[in-house]
Amino acid sequence: MNGLQEIQDLTLDHQLSLPGGLDALGIGVVGAGFIVRDCHLVAYQQAGFRVVGITSRTVSKAEEVAILRGIPKVHRSLAEMLLDDQVQVLDIGVPPQDQPQIIREICRMGRHVRGILAQKPLAMSLAEGRDLVRLCATQGITLAVNQNMRHDQSIRACADLLRRGWLGQPVLATIDMRAIPHWMPWSRGLGSLSTFIMSIHHLDCFRYWLGNPERVMASTRPDPRTKFPHTDGINLYILEFPGGVRASAWDDVWTGPVREGCQGELGIRWRVEGTRGLANGTIGWPSYPAHTPSTLDYTTALRGDYWFQPRWKEAWFPEAFQGTMGELLISLQRGTLPAISGTDNLHTLALVEAVFRSAREHRMVELSEFAPEEARH
């Protein structure tokens, strides 16, 4: 059998397939900031999800977003929203330090609520994340976490390559980020900057591709451009997985004095090497608000003389947000747990904490130090 015969279907699973009937569940949105206004709600409208209400700490801001995105009802508070029997799914879009209190209030008062899509990080500590997962489970609420990089088209397509075995056994995965985030004002008061807010994307991505690592080694330093106090700006880390697989990322939020007068080279590139193939990708997010799809090039020993270069029109921002909410809605429709469940996300929180501790204490850290039970499964 030659390579082309063995590779029968060249269409990769780059975007979650959405079944009909997902609009049967009404979505209430908590928060009215940029990520809700320009990503969540745009993606939901494209996907045909039914948003029935919105609330925000600033009612006038919620009213503005409701008009812009065609949301029929503005609730003056979360408590008022939770009295609305049309709201069966809560989409939380607030700063991480405010999210746990909101999840607890939903569990206490949300008699009609069946599912919650929380933002990442679920919490600013693994211990609090565990408490929230247990609380939602006790109340019969399906908790999902918006780890939306998993639904970037190139990242999801690479996961499909790995599942099909076209790359063989994974050997090494790397992410090289040279991009300047826009740190929101709420990030000033957090105990962690880059690790919990930016690196969490890449750490969860490595888990999505490769499973749970056993140990990590990390180094960090402050970002010269970010003037408010912080410890973790530029993050470098190496992950060791069972069976010998290694992964590393350079999360460079400085990228050189690009905004201080010199030329720059911004972007995010990733690479996965296996025993039978190689995949390279780029992430379009650094070009936002320009709609820039991510890319994937791959080659495989099944057809060793050829580079496959699938392309698509969708991009991480905003289309990936269809995937995270879509996962939750499908899970509620089918009575299953989403892949991005709160329980699964405890592995990511454990990994984030391990990286943060490794950098702070200048040593290799075992994942079992943080989550012995989750790290073994």
C-alpha distances in Å from residue 299, one per residue of 4, 270, 308, 315: 12, 15, 6, 22
Q: Which helix (H) or strand (E) element contains residue 117?
A: strand 115-118
Q: Read off the tokens for 322.
A: 């269809």
C-alpha distances in Å from residue 193, one per residue of 60, 177, 197, 356: 29, 16, 6, 10
Q: Which residues pair with 220 in a beta bridge?
A: 235
Topology classification of domain 22-148:
Rossmann fold (3.40.50)
CATH architecture of structural domain 150-317+342-375: 2-Layer Sandwich (3.30)
Helix, strand, coil share of the chain (percent; to 5): 40, 20, 40
pLDDT in tens, the chain (377 residues): 344 445 545 789 999 999 999 999 999 999 999 999 999 999 999 999 999 999 999 999 999 999 999 999 999 999 999 999 999 999 999 999 999 999 999 999 999 999 999 999 999 999 999 999 999 999 999 999 999 999 999 999 999 999 999 999 999 999 999 999 989 999 998 999 999 999 999 999 999 999 999 999 999 999 999 999 999 999 999 999 999 999 999 999 999 999 899 998 899 999 999 999 999 999 999 999 999 999 999 999 988 789 999 999 999 999 999 999 999 999 999 999 999 999 999 999 999 999 999 999 999 999 999 864 544 44
Domains 22-148 and 150-317+342-375 share a fold: no
- For the chain, the structural domain boundaries read 22-148, 150-317+342-375
Specify the pTM: 0.95
Contacts of 205 (CB under 8 A, 6+ apart): 149, 150, 155, 175, 270
